[in-house]
Amino acid sequence: MSAAAARPAADPRPGWRDRRELVLVAVTAASAGAVGIVNPGFLTVENLRFVALNSVVLSIVALGQTLVIAMRGIDLSVAPLMGLSAMVCGLLAQTHGLPLWGAVGVALAIGLALGTLNGVLVAALNIPPIITTLGTYSLFGGLTFLYSDGTQVDQVPPAYAAFGNAGPLGLPVPTPVLVLLLVTAACWFALGHSRFGRAVLAVGNNAAAAYNAGLRVAVIRIQVYALSGLLACLGGLVFVCYTGSATVTTGTGDHVELQSIAVALVGGTLIAGGRANVLGTVLASLFLSTVLTALVFLQVPPIWYSAGEGLMILVAVRGGTRRAAGRA
């Protein structure tokens, strides 16, 4: 208690003053409300449900990105990985009748294998992550092209569609939302309360110091990229179930790599690593989904959408660096 009293007043407790989640909720609600005044159709239950469901895939992928950025890395290959997973699972279901549990296994296996490849390239061969994942971005996109062989997924078996849109056991909450809740809880627990997650943050804070403290930095790096790949492919599976379609540009066409980075940063994860905000990532995805849907309702030409995403990244990074500089 006396130590607390001796602390200078301006000295922030970690995480205590950071109300990023509240801000995001408020801004999202305000945006939705404002759009609702202009176009009441926006605030229908059906549309809000769409907005929420629409953010789920991005949230899942962006949680993987959050882990990577928290470790001071970056994973551009999440977009083609998501597309590859959607395409492989969708085509196997469409043409070979692969059961849903098999698709889950395929998606997770692809994600683990290719995510591990990213991790090994970064950690063992010491290639900077932006270069590595730019390379594997093309590689994985190429695999999708090869595998699709000019075809695309346009309908999935009923079990898949039900998984993507309805709730299990007649619950009113769609399964993807439950999956997201599970993934979010796991990431929150891992980053906040597990040795593994704290090690990820330690590496993001200062990899050399983490190594000197006895952490196996290379192993942690590989694990985190593997997890990012895993979540990207899980996102791809959810996507193909939810939409019933996949093409060779699924993931890359929407710039999921940029979107996932943007929502992680807007959510409060530092681009320089060392601090992550899991709930912030999910809320920022919801915010982005709200804004993108609102743009449709406001009849803004789609050509402006990616400009808006770019602006979001710049604002988020600038905000993060200003705070980093201000507390030196």
Phi, psi of 157 (to 5 degrees): -60, 155
First to last CA, the chain: 25
- The tokens describing 51, both together, are 């907005």
CB of 187 to another protein, least distance (A): 13
CB of 317 to another protein, least distance (A): 16
CB of 182 to another protein, least distance (A): 12
CB of 181 to another protein, least distance (A): 14
Q: Which is nearer to another protein, 174 or 268 (CB)?
A: 268
Q: Which is nearer to another protein, 64 or 268 (CB)?
A: 268
- The tokens describing 182, both together, are 């599970």
3-class state of residue 20 by DSSP: helix
Q: Which is nearer to another protein, 50 or 189 (CB)?
A: 189
Q: Which is nearer to another protein, 182 or 311 (CB)?
A: 182
Q: Which residues are near another protein by CB under 8 A?
A: 2-4, 6-7, 11-14, 189, 193-195, 198-199, 201-202, 204-206, 208-215, 270, 274-275, 327-328
Determine the Cα–Cα distance for residues 265 and 246; give it in Å rounded to an integer: 28
DSSP string for 128-183: -HHHHHHHHHHHHHHHHHHHHTT--B----HHHHHHHHSPGGG-SS-HHHHHHHHH
Q: Which is nearer to another protein, 220 or 292 (CB)?
A: 220
CB of 72 to another protein, least distance (A): 11
